[in-house]
Amino acid sequence: MDTFLEHWGEAANTSAGFFWMAFWAFGLGYLISSMIQVFVTEKRMKETMGKNESRSVLLGTFFGFISSSCSFSALATTKSLFKKGASFVSAMAFLLASTNLVIELGIIISVFLGWQFLVGEYIGGILLILISWLLIRIIRPTQLIKKAKKNLDESSSMEMDEETKAPFLESIKSGKNWAKVAKQYVMEWKMVWKDVTIGFTIAGIVAAFVPDSFFQALFINTGNGTTDFSFWEILEHVIVGPVAAFLTFIGSMGNIPLAALLFGKGVSFAGVMAFIFSDLVVFPVLRINAKYYGWKMSLFILFLLFTALISTSLVLHYGFEGLQILPDPSQVKIQDTEYFKVNYTLYLNLVFVVISLFLIWWGFIKFKELKYMKEMAPKGKVMEIVLKYIAYLAGIWLVGGLFLHYFI
């Protein structure tokens, strides 16, 4: 019983720690998304990311690079870009870049996994975009894209007044428009709070309760310290990697310690890279995309990203093997992580706590009469109710576990 209580406390602390690491990234992503919805007109967006395909992909990649590494916030911003007139391929480029090409993710990877994985992450992020672009050009899902855009238009309503239509410099000075930003910022959080709560809770439970042997059982020919795998073993690792990510979903940054654990236990470089790339092919992301675009487009995006990450992981593995720079599993060691300490994460989180409180005050007290956005209608009422109560139970689990961890 004491062991269970210890694991419970450890699981809750891990969940809270992962969220603590990512909170500022959530806030940044949702703030960018909200500002895009209010200040960036469809005409402006089409001029930059809607016409010239090559230029739009390059811009989407660049905007993703300077954006957040949190998959949930990246989804919100991607939706805003696509709705405002960006091409589908440029929106996908933004989504992949914002979860694979960002600086803070590279820092975490270099700490836990080493320089080979850091190089693989950035080269792989570019390959993911190029392969997805190629698949879209081959498949040409024109009708699916039109239907997804129609679904976005029908699932939300926006009051477009003269202030919003005004030139950018004028509209950005309007207090009323910033109230709209505040309301949209809160709505973005309301859209995914259940998925975030459940996802991070499951991550902590898996990290604390699931033994290493479980992950070893998922991957063939592991645990022997070798890097000599047959093609079929590597292919199995690459396919199972996303399955493991599905079971241990944390997000772009939070899954890196588990990736290091897998590599240290003998999973191939390709399998670990597939695991890292899989933060966008898990059920919470699938479900949010279904809310935004409909289930058909959500499943198409799943197919697109899954195919791209398998291809990318194989190319990286054999490319690194050809250059004789495959990393050695014995060099990877996992140490206990201290989440809550005085560092840049603390200061960034404090900044976004202040920003969030200010936006709530500005949008819901100072301009409380202003009506701007309606929440997107859920696709399934039963599922929404079930997830809501599971999220409540997850909250109770976290509170109880944190109490055990720090006071018992």
- Domain ranges (residues) in the chain: 2-407
Using the structure block, give the residue that is written with the tokens 């992909």: 57
3-state secondary structure of 373: strand
C-alpha distances in Å from residue 216, one per residue of 104, 237, 307, 322, 335: 29, 11, 24, 26, 19
Tokens 């997804």, residue located: 148
Tokens of 26: 């959530």
Q: Which residues pair with 158 in a beta bridge?
A: 373
In Å, how far from its chain's centre is CA 93?
Answer: 14
Q: Determine the pLDDT at residue 335.
A: 47
pLDDT for res 254: 58
**What pLDDT score was predicted for residue 70?**
63
Which residues, including other chains, have CB under 8 Å from residue 279's CB and lie 6 or more apart?
A: 71, 99, 245, 249, 250, 251, 252, 255, 285
Closest CA to 262 of 254, 253, 271: 271
pLDDT at position 158 is 46
Q: Are 95 and 280 in contact (CB under 8 A)?
A: yes
* pLDDT, tens only, 206-248: 778 877 677 667 777 665 555 678 888 899 999 988 877 776 5
Q: Decide: helix, strand or coil at residue 297.
A: helix
Neighbours of 376 (CB within 10 A): 19
Mean predicted lDDT score pLDDT of the chain: 81
Contact 46, 85 (CB under 8 A): yes
Rounded Cα distance, 294 and 24, in Å: 29
**pLDDT for residue 116:** 92
Which DSSP state fits 364?
I
Residue 266 — left, alpha, or beta (φ > 0 → left; ψ -120 to 50 → alpha)? left
CB–CB of 15/400 below 8 Å? no
The tokens of 390 are what?
């599971």
Contact yes or no for 312/127 (Cβ under 8 A): yes
Cα-atom radius of gyration of the chain, to the nearest Å?
Answer: 21
Stated pTM of the model: 0.70
Short-list 209, 150, 152, CA closest to 12? 209
Question: pLDDT digits over 47-82, tens only?
Answer: 677 666 788 888 888 888 876 556 767 787 888 888
C-alpha–C-alpha distance, residues 280 and 403, integer Å = 32
**Nearest C-alpha neighbor of 70 from the set 246, 253, 203:** 253
Who contacts 128 (Cβ-Cβ below 8 Å, separation ≥6)? Answer: 96, 100, 277, 305, 308, 309, 312
Neighbours of 277 (CB within 10 A): 31
The segments of the chain whose pLDDT lies below 70 read 1, 40-47, 50-52, 67-70, 72, 104, 111, 154-169, 212, 215-216, 221-227, 247-255, 257, 331-337, 372-381, 383
- Strand, coil or helix: what is 405? helix
Cα-Cα-Cα-Cα dihedral sign, residues 85, 89, 93, 99: positive
Q: Strand, helix or coil at 37? A: helix
